[in-house]
Amino acid sequence: MNSTKKYTAAIATLGCKVNQYESEAISEELEKSGIEIKSASDVCDAYIINTCTVTAESDRKARQLIRRLIAKNPQAVIIVTGCLAQSSPDEVAGIEGVDAVIGNCEKLRATRAVIELLQSGKKNAAPVVYPSELDTAGFEKMSITKFERTRAYVKIEDGCENHCSYCIIPSARGKVRSKEPTELISEVEALVRGGCREVVLTGIETASYGRDLGNIDLASVLCKVDKIDGIGRVRLGSLDPSLIKQHFVEKISPLSSLAPHFHLSLQSGSDRVLALMRRKYNSKMALDAIELLRESIPRVKFTTDIIVGFPGETEQDFEATLDFVKKARFLHAHIFPYSKRKGTPAAEMDAQIPKDEKSRRLKILSEECTKIKAEILQGEVYEVRSSPEPLYRTVLFESFENGWAIGHTEDFLEIWAKSDAPLHAEFKKVLFLETDGDKIFAKIC
């Protein structure tokens, strides 16, 4: 690098936690090369855009962001990677000002591309496209040492082979690839030594971890992580309900580090719609999974994703989802209306649901989930108030706002407690006082 100039770069990330992890890994590699990392709102010498393609809207936002950063500094090096770069490389390369388009399996190539172009002092005359061969790719070796606030997301798996009828991601991420257990443990150990209090193990299809390795699975690697000296909390990324079986639960339930909070990718409570979606479970299997975890892990809580208005979803199907939600009692549900994704079977299905009807169903389901959350929180507060002995809960505090320290319990209840100073990354015992239906107010003990 030119020692007389301090180059700057920014990484703009769209989409999932896996993308965020990969962007952090790229950022750390750039810093090792002497490049200063700044915000995408700053005028920089280089921009890397890590894109998402999960919906048509994701594509639109990615193209808009690329053009906005080019306009911010037309002379800047522009590198585009991520799912849109993998699935539509020619489209991305057609945006004037883009220097390189890099597929999903070699994201660290973005670092080398930035350095080479900055050293050359000029932009590429035409974009260079580095496609990734998804069928033959292995798990890209990368790691992080930095994290925001209290937790770090660690990518342990890439790819998905489920081929759900609404999802384009398998064609953008490829087959299942897993991080070697020794590398995973080393990375988590380094994060813990660096002060990380909570690690979230995530992937494109986290439940498939180890399928390609043959000698380990998700439960086994959680047991290894649990033995790390100084490990705080461990959470998991989104899980397919079909993973939750007796042998899995028997392995994970004794682990002291594993937080009793699971995000299950439900999508629908209707067996007919789940079949149309090509999911690997039905509503009974999903509810059995929830009940199995409730029987085995004290205070376990659940969050989920639900799609309303999937093609062909009848009122009866919607009522089945509503009924499932009432039985499952999720702490939180991310509910979104189905939107067509070009290139997926669902986009060509008959009986597409009108926008107004999708909005109606979303509103009804959201109101029910809001009501259930309030009831869960009220129950937690009532238990404390009615107990003859103090019932202390442990909170990991993460942020501070106007005299309130904000954090989460191990089962993912959001807690606000009055404090004279920030309690960033501190575990504290608290007593619950009251709830507004969305969060719990507590007293630090």
Residues near 413 by beta carbon (within 8 Å), at least 6 away in sequence = 301, 331, 377, 380, 393, 439, 440
Residues near 305 by beta carbon (within 8 Å), at least 6 away in sequence = 238, 263, 265, 266, 267, 333, 334, 335, 336
What DSSP string describes 266-298?
Answer: EE-S-HHHHHHHT-S--HHHHHHHHHHHHHHST
- The CATH code of the domain that includes 96 is 3.40.50.2300
- The CATH code of the domain that includes 169 is 3.30.750.210
Q: Is residue 98 part of a domain?
A: yes
372-430, pLDDT tens digit by residue?
999 999 999 999 999 999 999 999 999 999 999 999 999 999 999 999 999 999 999 99
Residues near 165 by beta carbon (within 8 Å), at least 6 away in sequence = 276, 277, 278, 344, 345, 346, 349
| DSSP type of residue 243 | G
As given in the structure block, the two tokens for residue 44 are 């920089």
Report d(CA 200, CA 22) in Å as an integer: 14
**In degrees rounded to 5, what are phi and psi of residue 358?**
-65, -40
- The CATH code of the domain that includes 406 is 2.40.50.140
Q: Which pLDDT belongs to residue 198?
A: 97
- Say whether pLDDT at 275 is over 80: yes
What range does the domain containing 121 cover?
A: 8-130
Helix (H) or strand (E) holding 431: strand 427-435
In terms of C-beta density within 10 A (0-12 exposed, 13-18 middle, 19 or more buried), how is residue 323 classed?
middle
Last residue of a domain, one of 130, 162, 186: 130
Report d(CA 14, CA 192) in Å as an integer: 27
148-189, pLDDT tens digit by residue?
778 999 999 999 999 999 999 999 999 999 999 999 999 999
* Neighbouring C-beta atoms of residue 119, cutoff 10 Å: 10
Q: Which pLDDT belongs to residue 151?
A: 92
What Å distances lie between residue 65 and 41, 72, 341, 426, 445, CA to CA? Answer: 11, 10, 20, 36, 46
Last residue of a domain, one of 85, 100, 130: 130
Q: Which pLDDT belongs to residue 218?
A: 98
Report d(CA 418, CA 95) in Å as an integer: 50
| CA atoms lying within 13 Å on the CB side of residue 326 | 8
β-sheet bridge partners, residue 152: 199
Is the same domain home to 15 and 115? yes
3-class DSSP assignment, residue 387: coil
Is the same domain home to 81 and 185? no
Instruction: Provide the domain count of the chain.
Output: 3
Q: Pairing mode, if any, of strands 301-308 and 198-203?
A: unpaired
Q: Is residue 254 part of a domain?
A: no
Residue type, 143: S
* Neighbouring C-beta atoms of residue 94, cutoff 10 Å: 11
9-56, pLDDT tens digit by residue?
999 999 999 999 999 999 999 999 999 999 999 999 999 999 999 999
Q: Is residue 135 part of a domain?
A: no
Last residue of a domain, one of 97, 130, 163: 130
- Say whether pLDDT at 3 is over 60: no
Quickly list H helices, 349-443.
Answer: 355-386
3-class DSSP assignment, residue 150: coil
- Say whether pLDDT at 1 is over 60: no
| DSSP type of residue 66 | H
The closest of 61, 67, 109, 106 to 84, measured between CA atoms, is 61
Is the same domain home to 12 and 125? yes
Q: Is residue 138 part of a domain?
A: no
